Every structure is written in C-alpha cells, then in structure tokens.
Structure 1
Amino acid sequence: MSTRNSTLPQPSILSYIKDIPNLLSLAGLACTLLAIYYAILENYSISMIAMVWAVAFDWADGLVARKLKGRTSTDAKFGGQLDVLIDIVSYGVTPAIILLSYGKFEPLYLVGAFIMIAAAAVRLSYFSTYGLAGGTKYTGLALDNNSLILVFVFLLESFVSHDMFTIILYLSGVGLAVLNVSEIKTPKLSGNPRNVWLLGTYILTITLIYGSKLIF
C-alpha cells in the first residue's frame, strides 16, 4: 500500500517540510514574498525577477515529486494542497498587489485587484475539483502564465507614459483573469522536458533584462 498505515501515529505538521518538493514550494513562496515586498516599495525590477523565479520553483516541485520514489499518497496530497495555497498567493495576490502599487493604491484599482484574486481562487478551486480535462489539458489559462505574461508586459513600462502603462497593466491583469476562468483548453506545459528548457531560458533572459535595469 502507498498510503500511510492507519495504525501509525499521525505525522507532525513540520515533518512534511523535510519533503524536497515541499521545500521547493516554500522557496517559491519566499520568491513571492520578495515580489510583493518590492512591489510595495515600487522596485518593480526586483519584483519581476522574483515572480519568474517563483514560477521556476513551482515547476520544480512537481518535477521532483514525480521523480522521487517512496512518497506516499498522503505526501502527495499534502504537497498538492500546499502547492494550491501558494499558487493563490503567487499568481493571484502578487499580480493584484503589483497593480495596486503601480496605481498608487487608488481605490479604483481595488476592482481590478479583486477580479484577479477572485479569478485565481475560482480557477484553483475548479482545478482541485475536476483536475485536467481529459487528463492532459487545463480548463482555463493556467495561473502560472499570469506571472510569465505580466513580467513580459512590464517591459513596456520603459517605453510609454506612467498613465498609459497603468491602463495597459490594468487591462492585462483583468484580461488574464478572464482567461483563467474561461472554457479554453490549454496544455500542461510543465510536464514536457522541452518546455522546462524553454522556461529556464525565459527566466534567465528576464532575470538579465531586469537585473541590468538595477545596475544601469
């Protein structure tokens, strides 16, 4: 049996931290915290770098979990729950805070921020209930795409006025939220080794671009 023996004592909460995939998930959460912190400080370059690395750790925890032997069904269930809770912060709360910060926390931006967080919560709840459509595709745009797309959109910030980019950022965030809860079918990118290499290249490129902004 892959499940823990019911006669054994219930494991402690912190015992699951020793699980490598969970450590990777928490590393992603640490990146997410940095993204939020620097967004509030209006240092968006660091925030963007932290956002893409949060995606990297999110993909890594799943890849490692599938490779590890000896993990029980309880381990997998705990890891899945941890991953979902971190995802709502990484891909819902963080982009919403970036929008609020860029909009100087004006009340108008609360509407867009709520839509983004609510869509992420609904999207994750739907996925937790039904899983992959046909076992291979997501229903709605997967949430990790929110961060990958927004860090690219943010590159426009250097080329347009603050007011214009505020509109672009607002529409991008709300537009992604709509796609998150739509009925479109999108492939599970993290399961393909080729996509892992593409993600790694993208993350390093984004890191170099925004890192250069910090230097120069």
Structure 2
Amino acid sequence: MIGFYNYSVVLTYISLASSVFGMIMAIQGNFKVAIVCLAFSGLCDMFDGKVARAMKNRSEDAKAFGVQIDSLCDMVCFGIFPSLICYLLGVRGALGLAVIVLYCTASVIRLAYFNVMEMKGALVTEDNHKYYRGLPITSMAVVLPLVFLVQFFVSEAIFLVILYLALFIVGTLFIVDFKFWKPKNSTLAMLVAVVAVALVGMAFLKK
C-alpha cells in the first residue's frame, strides 16, 4: 500500500476519525457530541507533532508525508468541520455563505503557506524559538467550544451574530501576517483546562 504507516501519524488519523464522527453527529443534530469531537481533535493535534518528532529514524519522505497528511487532516478537522457545525447552527443565507467560504479559503491558504514555510525551516528564529505566521488553524478547536457555550446564556439572535463574527474574525486571522509564538506547555495546559471546563458546563446546561 502507498503511504507511510507508523506511530508518528496515529494521532493525526485519530483526530481525523473524531472529526468525521463529529460531522455525522452534527448532521444528526447532536451538537454537544460534535463539539466534544472537535475539542478532542484539537487535543490530538496538540500532541501529534511531539509524537512524530519522538520517532528519530524517520526517512525524509516519511517526514514530508507527515507534514502533508497533518495539513490535509487539519483542513477536514478545523476547516470543514467547524464550518459545517456553524452552517447547521444557522450561519446561512448569502452572508453566511460568504463567511463560510472566506473561512474555508483562508484555512486552505494558511495551511499551504505553513507547509511551504515549514519545509524551508523558515518558522524558527535564530535562537531556535518556533513561531507561526498568522493564527494556527487549530485555534478553532478552542474558539468554537467557548462560543457554543455562550448560546446557553444569550438569545438565539445574539448567538448567531457571535457565530458569524467568530468565523469571520478567526478566518481572517488565519491569513493576517503576524508572528504567533508557539505556546509553551503551560499555556497549552491552560487552554486544555479552559476547554474542558466549557465542555463540562455544556454537558449540564440545557436551553
């Protein structure tokens, strides 16, 4: 079979499987499960690079494959999946379509640009500190669960406005050229804790 099959890409595939399952749940109207799947995909993505780098005997082709497969899965998990959730939650009509198209297009551009920079090693400073150009696409795995939680405290109209703004602002930040320093482990742990609290709260709240 074509491709590379080793533990360095296992988390990436688990992330993809979680998002595909989440899309099915969203289509069936089970948005809470869908949001949990999105957050779980983000958690997997947080560690897949660390797992890949831990495998020291990868060939150059295997490394290049890992970069490509990660971005392809990221497009599904954090590009298409959040867009589908937002559409099903009410981001529709001409304006909704425009915002979703913007978000998805920005996602593709951001991932393609990241791949180019990553292959050139251009995202590391002279003192070996890594940074991103633009907002990482996985940010939506943090933003959307928090936005989804807001709906339990505001009217449907206000919630829809927030959804539109979230897609537009996050999508735009994907392609705005600014340095986003790679978060430290302590920062990542804090983000995980915040999202976990949001998910727990979401599980108990009803509207």
2:35 matched residue in structure 1? 48
Query: Deviations for 1:87-137, whole angstroms, at most 9, x for unmatched residues?
Result: 111111111111211117545421111111000001111111223263621
Pair 1:152-2:146 in alignment: yes
Structure 2: how far apart are the matches of 1:205 and 1:133? 33
Give the alignment's TM-score, normalised by structure 1.
0.84
Conservation of the 8 A alpha-carbon contact between 1:36 and 1:97:
yes
Q: Using the alignment, how far apart are the partners of 1:167 and 1:207 within structure 2? A: 21
Q: What SS does the corresponding residue of 1:71 show, helix, strand or coil? A: coil
**Which TM-score applies when normalising by structure 2?**
0.87
Separation in 1, partners of 2:176, 2:10: 32
- Structure 2, unaligned runs of 5 or more: none
Tell me the amino acid that sits aligned with residue 201 of structure 1.
A
- Quick one: which amino acid aligns to residue 86 of structure 2? L
Higher-Rg member (1/2): 1
- Written as runs of structure 1 = structure 2, the 5 A alignment for 1:1-16 is 12-13=1-2, 16=4
Q: What whole-Å deviation, never above 9, does each CA across 1:116-165 have from its counterpart, x for those lacking one? A: 10000011111112232636211111111122112111111111121221
Q: Is the 8 A contact 1:39 1:101 kept in 2?
A: yes
d(CA) in 1 for partners of 2:133, 2:185: 22
CA distance in structure 2 between the partners assigned to 1:213 and 1:25 by the alignment: 31
Which residue in 2 is equivalent to 1:38? 25
Give the 5 Å matches for 1:117-156. 117-131=104-118, 132=123, 134=125, 136-156=130-150
* Rounded Cα–Cα distance in structure 2 between residues aligned with 1:37 and 1:133: 38
**2:132 aligned counterpart, secondary structure:** strand
> What RMSD in Å do the two structures reach over aligned CA positions?
2.1
Contact 2:107–2:171 (CA under 8 A) maintained in structure 1: yes
Tell me if the contact between 1:46 and 1:210 (Cα under 8 Å) persists in the aligned partners: no
Count of aligned positions? 200
Q: Which amino acid aligns with 2:190?
A: L
Aligned to 1:73: 60
Structure-2 residue corresponding to 1:168: 162
> Residue type of the partner of 2:165?
L
Q: Distance in 2 between matches of 1:140 and 1:39?
A: 28
**Structure 1 Cα separation of the partners of residues 107 and 91 of structure 2:** 23
Which moves more between the two structures, 118-127 or 60-69?
60-69
Partner deviation per Cα, 1:164-216 (whole Å, 9 max, x = no partner): 21111011111111111101211112xx33234334434433442333348x9
The equivalent of 1:205 in structure 2 is: 197
Distance 2:182 2:74 in 1: 15
Identical residues among aligned pairs (%): 26
Q: Unpaired segments of 5 or more residues in structure 1?
A: 1-11
